[in-house]
């Protein structure tokens, strides 16, 4: 198993994985910000009591 991981790491896939995680986290924050921004602009009648 360690040999397979070493081959995986050597191919540069670890760097691709790290970049994917960073981009995914940033995209999650953008979506979260958009949702909270919309919620702040929503009229009172839209909100649940």
pLDDT tens digits, one per residue of 18-44? 888 999 999 999 988 888 877 777 666
What band does 1 get if pLDDT is binned at 50, 70 and 90? Answer: confident
Chain mean position to CA 11: 24
Residue 43: the pLDDT is: 65
What band does 46 get if pLDDT is binned at 50, 70 and 90? Answer: low
Whole-structure pTM value: 0.51
Residue 48: the pLDDT is: 58
- Check: CB of residue 22 under 8 Å from CB of residue 28: no
Could you list the residue range(s) of the whole structural domain that residue 15 is in?
2-46
Residue 45: the pLDDT is: 58
- Give the chain's domain count: 1
């Amino acid at each position: 198993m360690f040999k397979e991981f070493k081959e995986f790491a050597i191919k540069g896939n670890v760097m691709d994985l790290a970049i994917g995680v960073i981009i995914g986290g940033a995209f999650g924050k953008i979506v979260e910000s958009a949702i909270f921004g919309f919620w702040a602009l929503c009229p009172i009648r839209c909100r649940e009591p």
